[in-house]
Amino acid sequence: MSRAVTIAVPKGRVLKALTPVLARLGIDAKEVLGEGDDRRLIREVPSVGWRFILLKPDDVPTYVEYGAADLGVCGRDVLLERGFDLYQPVDLGIGRCRMVVAMPSSTATLPDPPRIATKYPRIAAAHFAKRGVQAEVVFVQGSVELAPLTGLADAIVDLVETGETLRQNNLEVREVVAEISSVLVANRAAFKLLGSRARDVVAAFTPR
Ligand code: PRP
């Protein structure tokens, strides 16, 4: 019996969005999503010879890069920020959002140099550098929208999905940095080694 194909998936919203993929494969979503207070971090699906490992989104590409997982589901934001070079066979079309520069509606122009708060310091610095602006980038972990409201920063680089968080905090989008979605990533060596078994995973995850 060959070993299970290991697929790294983020806990939370994106994991739930995989329900149709699992249904297509005849897998009961509960086997992977769990029920109640299920804290198992490895979820075996013997019927298809796969196992899912549940991670924080930022750790998915790390596990795939080191070969601790064969494939994984992660956002383009994480790949861009951390410069991972992983095979990306499929855009899953889920977790769609935009990475933007946003600032208070009352701000006409940014000071030079601007101070930018973000969870994505590399992406932010590269974005402003492309425009010849040497931004001062301040790393924050979350609630990024708070930064311009409190004087921590002049603007933010962050993800926007519905735009509701920006609206309710009197901020507006001034530039789109990148379109983001979730992609399937694969360890290049594992992908070759697994052959048709890896291609089966890709086929199952390809949106139709
Ligand atoms: C994300 C993102 C924005 C918000 C955008 O934050 O950083 O704050 O969602 O969504 P919206 O456009 O639909 O309002 P998340 O919910 O992950 O929390 P965080 O502030 O802790 O990063």
Q: Where are the domains of the chain?
A: 5-95+181-205, 97-179
Atom 20 of ligand 1 has which residue's CA nearest to it? 143
Spacing, Cα 19 to ligand 1 middle (Å): 22
**pTM score of the predicted model:** 0.89
Say yes or no: CB of residue 144 within 6 Å of ligand 1. yes
Instruction: Please state whether beta strands 42-45 and 115-118 pair in parallel, antiparallel, or not at all (unpaired).
Output: unpaired
Tell me, what DSSP letter sits at residue 45? E
CATH 3.40.190.10 describes domain 5-95+181-205: yes
Round the average pLDDT of the chain to a whole number and report it: 94
Say yes or no: CB of residue 164 within 6 Å of ligand 1. yes
How is domain 97-179 classified at the CATH fold level? D-Maltodextrin-Binding Protein; domain 2 (3.40.190)
> Matching CATH topology for 5-95+181-205 and 97-179?
yes
Q: What percentage of the chain reaches a pLDDT higher than 70?
A: 100
For residue 100, pLDDT beyond 70: yes
Peptide bond into 89 cis (omega under 30): no
Distance CA 6, CA 32 (A): 13
Q: Burial, 28: exposed, middle or buried (Cβ in 10 Å; 0-12, 13-18, 19+)?
A: exposed
For residue 192, pLDDT beyond 70: yes
According to the model, what pLDDT value does residue 1 have?
Answer: 61
Q: What is the pLDDT of residues 63-83, one digit of tens each?
A: 999 999 999 999 999 999 999
Give the residue with greater pLDDT, 56 vs 24: 56
